[in-house]
Structure 1
Amino acid sequence: MLIGIVLILTWLILLLRYPAKALPLSMAAVAGLGLVAAWVLWQESIEENRFARLEIQLRLDPEQCPADRPLAITLRNGTDAVLQNFAWQVQAMRPGDTINLAQASYDRPRYLGPAELQPGASWQDCLPLPPIRQGYRAQSLEFRAADLRGTFVD
């Protein structure tokens, strides 16, 4: 942080002392930073759009899944890129509500998907339930995927 303050003060001194030389360089630096920021925002929007095109369905299915993993997931890759290293958190909510009833704790499980999911492909699995706040039953809750993380490879 000290180095940053020293750099800013040096830049200000040079800008005040030699404005004819420092101003064009400063404008070029600002333009360069603007281009980098625009490129980063563009890449993030592409990634956001790809995550939005993933179809994730979570449902409690004790008949089809084992007793220790009653949460069924179906994931379909609706993008044009391969999905790798996919991970997410599970939220538990009452129908029509936005309050997450899954206990937020340090050791809360992070769910992992397939190592690689091709465009248009689907993946199904059974998952363990997240720890739910006391007083709520899993049968009365909706489950959603949140905090999606992964890599898309073209």
Structure 2
Amino acid sequence: MLIGAVLILSWLILLLRYPAKALPVSLAAAVCLGVVGLWVVWQDSQETRQLERLELRLTYAPEQCPADNPLRVELHNGNEVPLLALRWRVAAYRPGDTVNLADNVYTAPRYRGPGELKAGGDWQDCLPLPPLRPGYRAQTVEFRAEHLQGNF
């Protein structure tokens, strides 16, 4: 923080003392900084669009999955590029409610997708349930994937 303040102060002093030399350099630096900022915003929006093209469905399916992993996950990659890695958090809601009933504690399971999923590919697996708040059962809630983070 102190280094940043010193840099800004010295830049202002140079700009005031030698405006003919410092102004072109400052404008070039501002243009470069703007280009880098635009590139970062573009990359972020591209990643957001790619994550929106993923179809991730979570269902409680104890009849189709083993007893220790009753959460069925179905993923479809609707992108034109392969999905390299995917992480998410599972939330549990009563139908029509907005309160997350899943306890996202440190010991909660970490959810990850397949290592690599080709463009247009599908993946299915059975995963463990997140711990629910006391008094709620997995049969009475709907599960949703939130906070998706992926690499394409």
**TM-score, reference length from structure 2:** 0.95
Letter in 2 for 1:108: A
Map of 2:12 onto structure 1: 12
The runs of at least 4 consecutive aligned structure 1 residues that moved more than 3 Å come to none
Equivalent in the alignment of 1:145: 145
CA–CA distance in 1 between the matches of 2:83 and 2:113?
10
- CA displacement 1:62-83 (0-9 Å, x = unmatched): 1111111111010000000110
Unaligned runs of 5+ in 1: none
Q: Which runs of 5+ in 2 are unaligned?
A: none
* Counterpart residue type for residue 8 of structure 1: I
CA distances 1:61-114 after superposition (whole Å, capped 9, x unpaired) = 111111111110100000001101222111111112222111121232211111
Aligned to 1:100: 100
- Measure, in 2, the Cα distance between the counterparts of 1:129 and 1:109: 8
Q: Distance in 2 between matches of 1:135 and 1:75?
A: 30
Deviation at 1:12, TM superposition (A): 0.8
Name the amino acid aligned to 1:55: E
Q: Which position in structure 2 is the counterpart of 1:76?
A: 76
For 2:108 and 2:147, the matched residues in 1 are separated by 13
Equivalent residue of 1:29, what SS?
Answer: helix
Residue of structure 2 equivalent to 1:132? 132
* Structure 1 CA distance for aligned equivalents of residues 15 and 98 of structure 2: 51
Q: CA deviation at 1:9?
A: 0.8
Distance, in Å, in 2 between the alignment partners of 1:15 and 1:38 is 26
- How far apart are the structure 1 equivalents of 2:106 and 2:10? 43
The aligned residue for residue 47 of structure 2 is 47
Tell me how far apart the structure 2 counterparts of residues 139 and 114 of structure 1 sit (CA, whole Å). 26
Identity of aligned residues (%): 61
Residue equivalent to 2:23? 23
Partner of 1:66: 66
> Letter of the aligned partner of 2:60 in structure 1?
L
- Rounded to whole Å, the distance in 1 between the matches of 2:97 and 2:21 is 59
The match for 1:122 is 122
> Which of 19-28 and 62-71 deviates more?
19-28
- Structure 1 residues 29-38 or 99-108, which shifts more? 99-108
